[in-house]
Amino acid sequence: MRQVAVTGLHKAFGAHPVLAGVDLEVPAGSLTAILGPSGSGKTTLLRLMAGFERLDAGTIAIGDVLVDSPGAYVPPERRRIGYVPQEGNLFPHLTVAGNVGFGLAARERRGGKIDAMLEKVGLGGFGRRYPHQLSGGQQQRVALARALAIEPAVVLLDEPFASLDASLRAGLRADVQEIFRRAGTTAVLVTHDQDEALSTADRVAVLRDGMIAQCAPPEDLYRRPADAGLASFVGDANLLEGVLADSVVKTMLGSLPLDPAATALGTAGRVTVLVRPEQIDLGPNEAGLTARVTSYRYHGHDAVLCVQPGNDPEARLIVVRIAGGPHRPVGSEVTLVARGPVFAWPAD
């Protein structure tokens, strides 16, 4: 069952169109990420769902209620949304408990619900503190508790982890995921960080040119992106020329089995092949393609190499990700061995 449905959404600021026909469904109980570069309009999409802006054309429905269309508008306070803005935006004049209880009726505020909510986000006993006495991560947790306290139909998160440092971010992200999963919360998360989108969300919708370019589970989006542009936006991508015949693609990295999901190709012809960096190994034998290392970046858990295939200085560099291993000095020769299945699109 879907909890939020957006159809044909258009929004412009003055003469500048931001959203041009967005269609999006958010299934009940799922965490859907809206991923897009800065300025792609993802925050605008979220603010439209929240009701802080009016749309120009299209519809937005939450549950069974049409909340915004050119002829109907439900104000934010009647949409039952839990909104978590970028910087938390706690009310500075209220305590933590005051913030969490802000949207509750007086009776509910006395009934221990606030303490329960704080417990849930790992801040039991913080009720009497003021926002300025909390760290950035704690403030975000309070903002989350405040949004969840009203038992919202959907939680809207606007880059809630962006202002935290990396170590805190990962922990809070995992906690949020766990809290949502346990409560069966429906949530929409806006982010420009593809790593965050892939690791946190059940479904990722990529916003490009004012439209949803693809909406799919993270694995699908990563392994089977709708086009070459998306492939490069979501992670590193090697785009190779290939020839398809009998579910096998011939590329410079040898013959690789085609992903059975790539059905739009027909059975034969010229194709563009996606080979992710981690699908390539450095082989010990002479069977693969020889290449020269042009850069080597070591990350500890893995290492990323750029290599020049063959001895052709004109050829496009190939990115390879390997699990640690010995240091590969720039200029040394390696052998590339690719693993399938690979995804492909018809060549332009």
Binding site for other proteins (CB under 8 A): 13, 18, 38-44, 50-54, 73, 75-83, 85-93, 102-103, 131-132, 146-147, 150, 156, 163, 192
Q: How far is the CB of 344 from other proteins (least distance, A)?
A: 34
Q: How far is the CB of 38 from other proteins (least distance, A)?
A: 5
Question: Which residue, 50 or 258, is less far from other proteins as judged by CB?
Answer: 50
Helices (H), the chain: 42-50, 96-100, 106-110, 113-120, 136-149, 166-183, 194-200, 218-223, 228-233
DSSP 214: E
Return the amino acid letter for 146.
R
Q: How far is the CB of 119 from other proteins (least distance, A)?
A: 20
Question: Which residue, 54 or 316, is less far from other proteins as judged by CB?
Answer: 54
Question: Which residue, 94 or 319, is less far from other proteins as judged by CB?
Answer: 94
Q: How many CB atoms lie within 10 A of CB 244?
A: 21
DSSP 279: G
Alpha-carbon gap, residue 18 to 210, rounded angstroms:
6
DSSP-based three-state secondary structure for 310: coil
Question: Which residue, 106 or 287, is less far from other proteins as judged by CB?
Answer: 106
Question: Which residue, 163 or 232, is less far from other proteins as judged by CB?
Answer: 163
Q: How far is the CB of 5 from other proteins (least distance, A)?
A: 19
In whole angstroms, how far apart are CA 346 and each of 53, 151, 171, 227? 40, 47, 41, 10
Q: How far is the CB of 11 from other proteins (least distance, A)?
A: 10
Question: Which residue, 158 or 271, is less far from other proteins as judged by CB?
Answer: 158
Q: How far is the CB of 118 from other proteins (least distance, A)?
A: 16
Enter the tokens of residue 287. Answer: 């069977």
Contacts of 78 (CB under 8 A, 6+ apart): none
247: left (phi over 0), alpha (psi -120 to 50) or beta: left
What are the strands of the beta sheet with 333-338, ordered from one edge? Answer: 280-282, 333-338, 289-298, 303-309, 318-322
